C-alpha cells in the first residue's frame, strides 16, 4: 500500500537526492568545527545545539546512500 506523497514532500525529497554525498559530509564537519569554536568562546549551550546537528547530517547522507533514490526504487517495481 503506497502512501500519498504531497508535492511539498516530493520537492524536499528531490532536493535531498540531488545533493552530492560530499555535501552532507561537508555540512557535518562544518557543524562540528562550529561547535568547537562556540565551545571555546564560552557559548557552551549553543555549542551543544550546533554539535548535535553534525551526526544528523551525516546520518541523513548515509540513509540516502543506503536506501537509494526514489527514481531507482520506482524503476525496480
Three-state DSSP at 7 gives: helix
C-alpha cell at 73: 526504487
Select from 60, 73, 72, 50 the least CA-distant residue to 12.
60
What pLDDT digit, counting tens, does each position of 16-46 carry?
A: 777 787 888 899 999 999 999 999 999 999 9
Task: Specify the DSSP element, H or E, that contains 58.
Answer: helix 53-67
Q: What is residue 73's predicted lDDT score, i.e. its pLDDT?
A: 53
- For the residues 40-57, what does the mean pLDDT come to? 93
Alpha-carbon gap, residue 39 to 47, rounded angstroms: 5
Please tell me the predicted confidence (pLDDT) of residue 1. Answer: 46
Amino acid at each position: 500500500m503506497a502512501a500519498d506523497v504531497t508535492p511539498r514532500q516530493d520537492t524536499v525529497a528531490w532536493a535531498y537526492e540531488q545533493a552530492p554525498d560530499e555535501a552532507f559530509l561537508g555540512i557535518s564537519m562544518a557543524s562540528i568545527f562550529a561547535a568547537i569554536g562556540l565551545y571555546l568562546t564560552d557559548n557552551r549551550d549553543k555549542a551543544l545545539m550546533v554539535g548535535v546537528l553534525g551526526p544528523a547530517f551525516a546520518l541523513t547522507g548515509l540513509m540516502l546512500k543506503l536506501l537509494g533514490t526514489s527514481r531507482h526504487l520506482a524503476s525496480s517495481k
